[in-house]
Chains A and B, each alone.
Chain A
Amino acid sequence: MSERTYLLPLWIRLWHWTNALLIIVLTVTGVSLHFADPKLPLVEFSLAARIHDIAGLALVAAYAFFALANIVTGNWWQYVPKPPGVIDRCLKQARWYVWGIFRGEPHPFPVTLQNNFNTLQSLIYWAIMYLAMPLLLLTGLIFLFPEFAPDRLFGMDGLLPVAVLHYLTGAAIVMFMIAHIYLGSTGNTVGAMYKTMITGWHEH
Chain B
Amino acid sequence: MFHSFNKPLVAVLLGASLALLRLPAVAADAAPVDQATIEANRKANAACYECHSAAAVKKPPRADLDLSKLKESHIEPAIFNPSDHGVMDCRQCHAKNHYTEYPHAEAGKTTTSPCTECHAAKSLRLEPQFNASVHAKNSGLKEKFSCNTCHNVHVNVIQKRLKDPEKIVAQDNHGCLECHNSETMFARFAPDDEKLAGGKKKRPDIDTIHGWLPNAKAHWNAVRCIECHTPEVAEGKMLSHEILNKEKAEKKCLACHSANSSLKTRLYRHLVKGEQQKYGFTNSVILSNSYVIGATRHPLLDNLIIGLVLATLLGVLAHGVLRALAAMKRNKDQAK
Binding site for B on A (CB under 8 A): 33-38, 45-46, 49-50, 53, 97, 101-104, 146, 155-157, 159-160, 162-164, 167-168, 171, 174-175, 178-179, 182-183, 185
Are A45 and B309 in contact (CB-based, < 8 A)? no
Are B293 and A46 in contact (CB-based, < 8 A)? no
B65 in the interface (beta carbon within 8 A): no
B177 in the interface (beta carbon within 8 A): no
Chain A residues near B301: list those with CB within 8 A.
164, 167
CB of A48, distance to nearest CB on chain B (Å):
9
Interchain CA distance A97-B279 in the complex, whole Å: 39
Are A50 and B330 in contact (CB-based, < 8 A)? no
Are A182 and B316 in contact (CB-based, < 8 A)? yes
Interchain CA distance A163-B312 in the complex, whole Å: 23
CB of B228, distance to nearest CB on chain A (Å):
14
Chain B residues near A36: list those with CB within 8 A.
253-254, 257-258, 293-294
CB of A97, distance to nearest CB on chain B (Å):
8
Interchain CA distance A101-B321 in the complex, whole Å: 12
Are A160 and B287 in contact (CB-based, < 8 A)? yes
Given contacts A45-B257, A146-B218, A168-B305, 4 further A-B contacts (CB under 8 A): A38-B254, A102-B322, A103-B326, A159-B291
Known: A38-B254, A101-B323. A156 touches B309 (CB 8 A): no
Interchain CA distance A35-B319 in the complex, whole Å: 29
Interchain CA distance A50-B253 in the complex, whole Å: 13
Chain A residues near B322: list those with CB within 8 A.
102
Point out the residue from B213, B291, B312 that lies within 8 Å of A179, measured CB to CB.
B312
Point out the residue from B291, B320, B330 that lies within 8 Å of A160, measured CB to CB.
B291
Known: A36-B293, A37-B259. A174 touches B254 (CB 8 A): no
Chain A residues near B308: list those with CB within 8 A.
171, 175
CB of A140, distance to nearest CB on chain B (Å):
13
Chain A residues near B323: list those with CB within 8 A.
101-102
Are A104 and B327 in contact (CB-based, < 8 A)? yes
B290 in the interface (beta carbon within 8 A): yes
Interchain CA distance A43-B68 in the complex, whole Å: 58
Chain B residues near A162: list those with CB within 8 A.
291
Chain A residues near B278: list those with CB within 8 A.
155-156
B214 in the interface (beta carbon within 8 A): yes
Are A33 and B327 in contact (CB-based, < 8 A)? no
- Jot down 10 A-B pairs with beta carbons below 8 A, ordered by A: A33-B294, A37-B294, A38-B254, A102-B323, A102-B326, A157-B290, A171-B305, A171-B309, A178-B316, A183-B316
Q: Give how many B residues have a beta carbon under 8 Å from the other chain's beta carbons.
A: 39
Are A178 and B258 in contact (CB-based, < 8 A)? no
Interchain CA distance A183-B213 in the complex, whole Å: 41
Are B309 and A178 in contact (CB-based, < 8 A)? yes
Chain A residues near B298: list those with CB within 8 A.
164
Interchain CA distance A45-B330 in the complex, whole Å: 50
Residue-wise interface mask of B (85-127) relative to A, using a CB-CB cutoff of 8 A (1 in contact, 0 not):
0000000000000000000000000000000000000000000
Give the most central of B284, B288, B305: most A CB within 10 Å.
B305
B11 in the interface (beta carbon within 8 A): no
**B residues 278-336 in Cβ contact with A at 8 Å:** 278-279, 284, 287-291, 293-294, 296-298, 301-302, 305, 308-309, 312-313, 315-316, 319-320, 322-323, 326-327, 330
Residue of A nearest to B316 (CB): A182
Chain A residues near B215: list those with CB within 8 A.
146
Interchain CA distance A172-B74 in the complex, whole Å: 56
Known: A103-B326, A185-B320. A157 touches B288 (CB 8 A): yes
Chain B residues near A38: list those with CB within 8 A.
254, 258
Point out the residue from B214, B257, B320 that lies within 8 Å of A182, measured CB to CB.
B320
Chain A residues near B326: list those with CB within 8 A.
102-104
Give the most central of B288, B291, B322, B323: most A CB within 10 Å.
B291
Chain A residues near B296: list those with CB within 8 A.
160
Are B289 and A37 in contact (CB-based, < 8 A)? no
Are B253 and A45 in contact (CB-based, < 8 A)? yes
Interchain CA distance A53-B214 in the complex, whole Å: 10
Interchain CA distance A102-B296 in the complex, whole Å: 45
Chain A residues near B315: list those with CB within 8 A.
179
Chain A residues near B309: list those with CB within 8 A.
171, 174-175, 178
Are B291 and A34 in contact (CB-based, < 8 A)? no
Chain A residues near B302: list those with CB within 8 A.
34-35
CB of B27, distance to nearest CB on chain A (Å):
38
Chain B residues near A183: list those with CB within 8 A.
316
CB of A188, distance to nearest CB on chain B (Å):
13
